[in-house]
Amino acid sequence: MGWSFKVHGGIALAMSFLFLGSAAIAWVPWVSVSTHMTWMLAVAFLLPVGLAALARVLLSRADKKTLWLAFRCLPGRLRVVLGVLALAGVLLTVVGASQENSLQTDGVEDGRYYVYDTTPFQRGRAEVSSSAYADVLRREQRGLLPVFGAAAAVVAYMVFTAGEVRQADARSKQTHVARTRGRPAPGGPSEQMPK
């Protein structure tokens, strides 16, 4: 696998660890939410990496079966890491989504914290304390960041399998060239010799 595939897949893996780690930290009640990783920030980083991975898979022109076979050719530890990250992302997403929360963060203005209430018949913006705002932000992170963690693991899977397909194609071409060079060319000296 080429170095660009390794770097690209490594970036996607690091993003998956970052998102899932941030989501796990959001479950710890005594840890303050210092990094405001919103969905816009996550998409800003994940979108270009994911689109590049999709382009690499499309350029490899491999079908689903070939991609699965290429995934099985990856080192065992890497396959385990990719599987664990994807599974952890799905599980954390399900657990985070199971929390009922009708409040969404709406921003901080002049030192005042605002949330938006989506409860039927009570919709509207309300000012809350900083601790209540941090609690709402933590709940948002619990539900949203695991989705991006799982998506980043899928992106890493796409990159590494596309790299494996590309490497297999390169090996196939080298083998084909070696075989054709070993055979005499049609009309060559071996065919011109009298029998």
pLDDT along the chain (195 residues), means of 10: 82 88 78 57 76 82 82 88 91 79 74 79 76 78 82 88 77 61 52 46
pTM: 0.72
Pair 106, 36: CB distance under 8 Å: no
User: What does the pLDDT read at residue 38?
Assistant: 59
User: What does the pLDDT read at residue 60?
Assistant: 77
89-119: per-residue pLDDT in tens?
888 888 877 776 777 777 777 888 887 777 7
Residue whose entry in the numeric block shows the structure tokens 């030192």: 111
Rounded CA separation 93/152 (Å): 14
User: What does the pLDDT read at residue 192?
Assistant: 46
Instruction: Name the nearest CA neighbour of 145 among 83, 88, 82.
Output: 88
Question: What are the respective helix, strand and coil percentages of the chain, to the nearest 5?
Answer: 70, 10, 25
